[in-house]
Amino acid sequence: MTSLWQARSHLFNDRTAGDYHRRLAEGLRRVRDRISRVDRPFTGITPTQLAARIGRVDLDRPLGGAAAALDELEELYLRDAVYFHHPRYLAHLNCPVAIPALLGELLLSSINSSLDTWDQSAGATFIERRLIAWTAARIGFGRGADGVFTSGGTQSNLQALLLAREEAAHVSEPRVLTGAAGHFSVQKAAKLLGLGPESVVVVETGGDRRMRTDALAAELERYGGAVIAVVATAGTTDFGTIDPLPEIADQCALSGVRLHVDAAYGCGLLVSPTRRHLLDGIERADSVTVDYHKSFFQPVSCSALITRKGGDLRHSAFHADYLNPARVAAHLPDQVNKSIQTTRRFDALKLWLTLRIMGADAVGLLFDEVVERASQTWELLADDPRFEVAARSALSTVVFRFLPDEPELADQANRYARKALSASGAAVIAGTRVDGREFLKFTLLNPETTIEDVADVLDLIAEHAARYAALILEEPHVPA
């Protein structure tokens, strides 16, 4: 039996600060050693193998010490994790993380401030507010802007639609218009808000995978006063394309409809030294989603919703007796009145230390570098008859597919190549469907990924896909 004295020794306080330092240093050493040894983005382990290993752990029998628990964790997690910092991790919107942000992560979880009320956060509240104001200024919003950190783009989009819904509370069959390449969190938010299955109207995109403004005009005309918001995407998840923000803003202004810009991915352009103009028009939005954990090299979670009119956030407030009324009267700076969360992490500290140590320009340079790499990749693919490329990205994704000699095998061959690549661990890439066909996707967020890495991975894809096509012709039952 463990004693109360032993149990207390695990809590972080003045008496245990030395132990805190020793244990965390051990954790740091392990991560350092592991990272230095990672030679591929993934080991290719299967879910069955890992589930069995983790299932065998008896959670009612602690190992007693950090060293034993960390040894166990090597087997359960660290050895077979997916490593986003590896130059051949090319799959999703996961960035390598900035060390200043990791320093922030350590501090914020150790002190464990909660951003709901001033009396649980003190300075943290004002650090968050400064970063919101900083981001709003980068967007080009005026002085009345405000916002709040969120758990991610999904939550930011949900809150943006909540505000839109409340601003148009009188509308009986509300409609939200968004582009065909928009993020599914818009549909999910509509569902959570009870807007009804018909509420999200998908506006056609053109061959360039951007929202068509003629199609938007037609939908605005068709649904008239029922439209509570248009959601434009500044950086579509699949194609990295940016909807035509100035034209969309014009139409929204003309129709008196709210504009939300989902810049979860494209927000990195806010600090780009050369490509900031791609976001022109974003300053005319009513609200903007930014995911620092997508394109500011921040660890998950680090995101925000920014609103042009700070007052819009009042729709997120609820006056709980134990938290609010007297406090509001006393003008205490409680962030809970702006958030849909209550207890909330001080994620802003990561961005703060990033800006204070590296600076925004350094972040922008890194983001520019990956956008450049995607552009080089596009050129490589355009000149390579083995592949077909979908739309040209404004950001850092590349959507393409291998073209086998037998065109009818294209879908299976590409799916097979992606799985085979991941099972080998040589690279991790993503897949998506374009107009019903199977495509492959690179999301390039690592400035360490060279164009040679990309070329090598393309060769591997071509080998796997061609092998599949050859196999299937001999043995028609090979699973794709």
Interatomic CA distance for residues 266 and 394, integer angstroms = 9
Q: Does 152 bind ligand PLP (CB under 6 A)?
A: yes
For ligand PLP, the closer CB: 233 or 377? 233
For ligand PLP, the closer CB: 305 or 313? 305
Q: How many residues bind ligand PLP (CB under 6 A)?
A: 16
Return the number of other C-beta atoms located less than 10 Å from residue 363's C-beta.
25
Rounded to the nearest 5°, which phi and psi values hold at 123? -55, -30
Using the contact rule CB under 6 A, the part of the chain among 29-37, 122-130, 146-154, 206-214 near ligand PLP is 146-154
For ligand PLP, the closer CB: 179 or 425? 179
Strand, helix or coil for residue 400: strand
Return the number of other C-beta atoms located less than 10 Å from residue 375's C-beta.
17
- Give the footprint of ligand PLP on residues 263-292 (CB under 6 A): 264-265, 291
Instruction: Report DSSP letters for 230-255, one per residue.
Output: EEEEBS-TTT--B--HHHHHHHHHHH
Q: Does 240 bind ligand PLP (CB under 6 A)?
A: no
Using the contact rule CB under 6 A, the part of the chain among 133-141, 148-156, 386-394, 449-457 near ligand PLP is 148-156
Interatomic CA distance for residues 105 and 200, integer angstroms = 37
Residue showing the smallest CB distance to ligand PLP in the complex: 153
Interatomic CA distance for residues 458 and 384, integer angstroms = 10
For ligand PLP, the closer CB: 120 or 154? 154
For ligand PLP, the closer CB: 94 or 120? 94
Interatomic CA distance for residues 461 and 456, integer angstroms = 9
For ligand PLP, the closer CB: 158 or 420? 158
Give the burial string for 293-307 (b: 16+ CB within 10 Å, else e). Answer: bbbbbbbbbbbbbbb
- Give the footprint of ligand PLP on residues 35-94 (CB under 6 A): 93
**β pairing state of 287-291 and 175-179:** unpaired
Using the contact rule CB under 6 A, the part of the chain among 63-71, 99-107, 147-155, 454-462 near ligand PLP is 147-155
Interatomic CA distance for residues 269 and 462, integer angstroms = 33
- Report whether 233 contacts 183 (CB < 8 A): yes
β partners of residue 193? none
- Give the footprint of ligand PLP on residues 375-434 (CB under 6 A): none
For ligand PLP, the closer CB: 88 or 294? 294
Both tokens of 365, joined, read 């340079």
Q: Does 303 bind ligand PLP (CB under 6 A)?
A: yes
Q: Does 185 bind ligand PLP (CB under 6 A)?
A: yes
Using the contact rule CB under 6 A, the part of the chain among 168-176, 208-216, 261-269, 353-361 near ligand PLP is 261-269
Residues that bind ligand PLP (CB under 6 A): 93, 152-154, 157, 183, 185, 233, 235, 237, 262, 264-265, 291, 294, 303
